Amino acid sequence: MLKRVAVVLASAALAALVPNAASADGGTHTHVSAACQASNCTFGAASSTSQDSASGPSKSSGSAPVCAYVPAGAITTADDGSRGQWYRLDCGRGFDQGEFGGPALPLWAGAGQPGPAVSPVVVAQQAESELVLPSPVMSFSPAGFQVVRVPTWMWIEPVQWRPVTATAQVPGVSVTATATPSSVKWDLGDGTQLTCAGPGTPWRPGDDPRASSPDCGHVFLRPSADQPGGTYAVTVRVHWRVDWAGGGQQGVFPDLSSTTTVQVRVEEVHSVVTSNQTR
């Protein structure tokens, strides 16, 4: 009877710890794997994490804690004569019912029983959840306010246009997730939306101020004076392709994105031509 109950509880406990699917919105994920040695089973995909980002974080999905099933009592003998032990889940803090994928049920394991192999996909999900994307930093030319019917150049700071990586490890498996910027969507606040294939080209002194950006620009046709605060809310969203590799496998996750909104003032400038005549 004890063993039958143990099987039911063990199955329920493991089902509760099945990893949640990764999502593109940067939500919190539960990524759990198991590795058992003697009387200690550790659940959680990341024992160490390395990150590389160009600026402050925009997306940090927040990983589940690394939890461990610790012995809840002494080794005992089941009805069939097998020896094993009950374990309770210890996450280093309170473990709320339903949090991180399911309730913290007790688990029965035979003495010295090896744990299941860790899937590289599970470790990859943990690495993906640890990616920290930089918040896009926008630049415009002309500097300061923009002018109606004058070409506006727009770009993301070039230092941010590079891959971001995170690595998750468990004994025997190391997986790296890489987020690579792929495109930028601009919402100019005046009803115009456009997508640029790259970060845009910075305007440099010496460039023709009357010329349009070669790859990412806009011309405002109306001033922003009638908008709340007298400005247009300009939003930029960078899309990132996410790949992973490790443990002899590789794959692709749904795209991630990072976004920023700034207020941009657009004015209408009138020129007055005067004539000086000398008598």
Q: Tell me if 66 is assigned to some domain.
A: yes
Angle among Cα 7, 13, 18 to the nearest 5 degrees reads: 125
Statement: residue 250 has pLDDT above 80? yes
Q: What are the tokens at 28?
A: 């919190």
Statement: residue 8 has pLDDT above 70? no
Q: Tell me if 244 is assigned to some domain.
A: yes
Percent of all residues in the chain with a pLDDT value above 90, rounded to a whole number: 48
Work out the average pLDDT over 237-252: 96
Structure confidence at residue 221 (pLDDT): 97
Q: Which domain holds residue 204?
A: 2-267
Q: Tell me if 278 is assigned to some domain.
A: no
Statement: residue 262 has pLDDT above 90? yes
Q: What are the tokens at 112?
A: 């010295």
Work out the average pLDDT over 47-72: 46
Q: How confident is the prediction for the chain on average, in pLDDT?
A: 73
SS3 readout for the chain: CHHHHHHHHHHHHHHHCCCCCCCCCCCCCCCCCEEEECCEEEECCCCCEEEECCCCEEEECCCCCCEEEEECCCCEECCCCCEEEEEEEECCCCCCCCHHHCCCCCEEEECCCCCCCCCHHHHHHHHHHCCEEECCCEEEECCCCEECCCCEEEEECHHHCCCEEEEEEECCEEEEEEEEEEEEEEECCCCCEEEECCCCCCCCCCCCCCCCCCCCEECCCCCCCCCHHHCEEEEEEEEEEEEEEECCEEEEEEEEEEEEEEEECEECCCCCCCCCCCC
Cβ–Cβ < 8 Å for 256, 131: yes
177-202 residue pLDDT tens: 999 999 999 999 999 999 999 999 99
Q: Tell me if 52 is assigned to some domain.
A: yes
203-224 residue pLDDT tens: 999 999 889 999 999 999 999 9
Q: Tell me if 273 is assigned to some domain.
A: no
113-140 residue pLDDT tens: 654 457 888 889 989 999 999 999 999 9
Q: What are the tokens at 261?
A: 């909104």
pTM of structure: 0.62
Q: How many whole angstroms separate alpha carbon 205 and alpha carbon 154?
A: 15
Q: Tell me if 111 is assigned to some domain.
A: yes
Structure confidence at residue 122 (pLDDT): 84
Structural domains counted in the chain: 1
Q: Tell me if 279 is assigned to some domain.
A: no
Which tops the pLDDT comparison, 19 or 58? 58
Q: Tell me if 272 is assigned to some domain.
A: no
